[in-house]
Amino acid sequence: MSENTLLSIQNIHTHYGRIPMLIGVSLEVRKGNVCCVLGANGAGKSTLVKAMLGMVNCDSGSIRLEDEDITNAPTHKRIANGIQVVSAATGTFPKMTVQTNLRLGAYNIKDVKLLNERLEEIYESFPVLKDRLQQKAGTLSGGERTMIAIARAVINKPRLLIMDEPSLGLAPIMVEEVFKVVKRLNQKENMTIMLVEQNAIKALSVSHFGYVIQKGQIIFEGDHDALMRSEFMENPIM
């Protein structure tokens, strides 16, 4: 494994009941890169995310986060190791204010001064949230709630931020906004991001490297330019 590799997945297999789902999936995410995993509905994208989080068991193969083998580590240990995820399932606490939602994301930060610094950084990066700190999260628009979910993950300065279809169900203008945030986190904060998407064109526009998954198998991998030239870019949405 090269010293530039943050996450390395080698030949993992998973199943649901008797049905194999991920079939020999291998991939790498390099430090400081945005890496996308593109695939249609049911291709196995969220299963891959769950395997990375330890929410789906691997029958074989390995998952390493830098020099640590996390293949069998419990989810909480992976989070403590610096993996954060944003997905449709992440949700928000609708009856709590935006500010409380953000603080809950930062429950691991015990130092009050550090917490306040991080909150200030978040307000800078997500001005839309700063204007609504005392508003209940459930009264925000879908796009604004997505921003809470992203901010809540980012406040922990993760080593690896995994985003499972962050743009799903959002209006086009908010989709733009989400991808701008991805780009900014990567460029300004050097955050390493794995972006799991059906929206291939949008995802690739902010990615250095990408994989295409189909029926639980990686069928193509390449850098931004190679993917751009590939047949997979003929349809913007997979």
Ligand X SMILES: Nc1ncnc2c1ncn2[C@@H]1O[C@H](COP(=O)(O)OP(=O)(O)OP(=O)(O)O)[C@@H](O)[C@H]1O
Judged by the rule CB under 6 A, the positions of this chain that interact with ligand X are: 16, 21, 39, 41-47, 198
* 64, β-bridge pairs: 8, 69
Instruction: Compute the least distance from the CB of residue 164 to Mg ion, in Å.
Output: 6
State the Cα torsion 189-195-198-200 to the nearest 10°. Answer: 60
What is the nearest approach in angstroms of Mg ion to the Cβ of residue 107? Answer: 26
Closer Cβ to Mg ion, 126 or 211, answer by number: 211
Give the interface segment with Mg ion, choosing from 43-51, 68-76, 153-161, 167-175 (CB under 5 A): 43-51
Rg, Å, the chain Cα set:
17
If DSSP codes are grouped into helix, strand and coil, which group holds residue 233?
Answer: helix
Minimum Å gap between C-beta 169 and ligand X is 11
21 binding partner (options Mg ion, ligand X, none; Cβ < 5 to 8 Å by kind) = ligand X
- The residue (of 148 and 196) whose beta carbon lies closer to ligand X is 196
With respect to Mg ion, which residue has the nearer C-beta, 46 or 199? 46
Q: Are 6 and 67 in contact (CB under 8 A)?
A: no
Interaction of residue 47 with Mg ion, rule CB under 5 A? no
Distance of CA 234 to the CA centre of its chain: 24
Q: Report d(CA 162, CA 166) in Å as an integer.
A: 10
Nearer to ligand X, 21 or 29 (CB): 21
Rounded to a whole number of angstroms, the minimum distance from the CB of residue 66 to ligand X is: 25
Residues 14, 33, 46, 125: which binds Mg ion (CB under 5 A)? Answer: 46
- The nearer residue to Mg ion, 46 or 186, going by C-beta atoms, is 46
How far, in Å, CA of 166 to CA of 128, rounded?
A: 17
Alpha helices in the chain (DSSP H): 45-53, 75-80, 98-105, 112-125, 127-130, 142-154, 172-189, 200-205, 224-229
Cβ proximity to ligand X, 44 vs 166, nearer residue: 44
The two structure tokens encoding residue 231: 């047949």
Residue 126, classed as helix, strand or coil, is: coil
Q: Least distance (Å) from ligand X to the CB of residue 114? A: 35
Q: How far is the CB of 51 from Mg ion (least distance, A)?
A: 13
Cα separation of 54 and 177, whole Å? 30
Binding region for Mg ion (CB under 5 A) out of 38-46, 67-75, 120-128, 205-213: 38-46
Binding site for Mg ion (CB under 5 A): 45-46
